[in-house]
């Protein structure tokens, strides 16, 4: 599906996810941001927090899903849309299915680890007990550029690529 244009709510929520991604990058986190929206407002949002929390599972999507479920007092995130600047990995795609999130919008594809269409499509796997409506490519160039700049700067400092 063609990505939405400015003025569209999907574009606005992804712009918010990109702001979070940028904020994460400034704190040394891989710059990925996620926002969970329900009834036109933010239920939960996060950037990656793996460095801050010494937590390999603390990808933006997983942190936001946990916060949203805590806020609702329900593990089922029905009627929610999850916006994330980068295609989810296996862990996060699996968590989206576990939480029964009905709709996922992501920005850039991740050809190395993306599991929502690149390597596999776990969020629409007919063998699992939940399938997700999917849109990709929203602010994809901005998201990719942010990630490229982050990794280039990190290599420049002699960190892990």
Q: Which residues bind its own copies (CB under 8 A)?
A: 50-51, 53-57, 59, 62, 65-66, 69-70, 72-77, 89-95, 97-100, 112-113, 115, 119-120, 122, 125, 127-129
Nearest-approach distance from CB 59 to its own copies, in angstroms: 8
Q: Which two tokens stand for residue 67?
A: 């916060």
User: For residue 60, which of 158, 149, 154, 143 has the smallest C-alpha distance?
Assistant: 143
Task: Give me the residues paired with residue 34 across strands.
Answer: 46, 84
CA distance 52 to 133: 32
Asked whether 64 and 81 are in contact (CB, 8 A), the reply is no
Active-site residue (options: 61, 87, 133, 142): 61
Nearest-approach distance from CB 74 to its own copies, in angstroms: 6
Nearest-approach distance from CB 9 to its own copies, in angstroms: 25
Q: Which two tokens stand for residue 93?
A: 């795609």
Active site residue 61: yes
Asked whether 58 and 33 are in contact (CB, 8 A), the reply is no
- 18 or 93, CB closer to its own copies? 93
Task: Give me the residues paired with residue 90 across strands.
Answer: none
Nearest-approach distance from CB 125 to its own copies, in angstroms: 8
- 54 or 157, CB closer to its own copies? 54
Neighbours of 145 (CB within 10 A): 12
Which residues are designated catalytic?
61
């Amino acid at each position: 599906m063609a990505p939405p244009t400015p003025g569209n709510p999907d574009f606005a929520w992804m712009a918010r996810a990109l702001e979070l991604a940028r904020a994460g990058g400034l704190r040394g986190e891989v710059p990925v941001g996620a926002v969970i929206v329900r009834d036109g407002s933010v239920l939960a949002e996060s950037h990656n927090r793996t460095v801050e929390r010494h937590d390999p599972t603390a990808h933006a999507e997983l942190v936001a899903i946990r916060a949203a479920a805590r806020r609702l007092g329900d593990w089922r995130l029905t009627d929610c849309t999850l916006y994330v600047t980068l295609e989810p990995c296996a862990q996060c795609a699996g968590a989206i299915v576990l939480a029964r999130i009905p709709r996922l919008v992501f920005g850039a594809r991740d050809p190395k680890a993306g599991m929502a269409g690149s390597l596999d499509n776990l969020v629409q796997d007919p063998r699992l007990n939940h399938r997700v409506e999917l849109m990709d490519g929203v602010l994809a160039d901005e998201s990719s550029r942010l990630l490229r700049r982050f990794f280039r700067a990190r290599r420049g400092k002699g960190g892990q690529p």
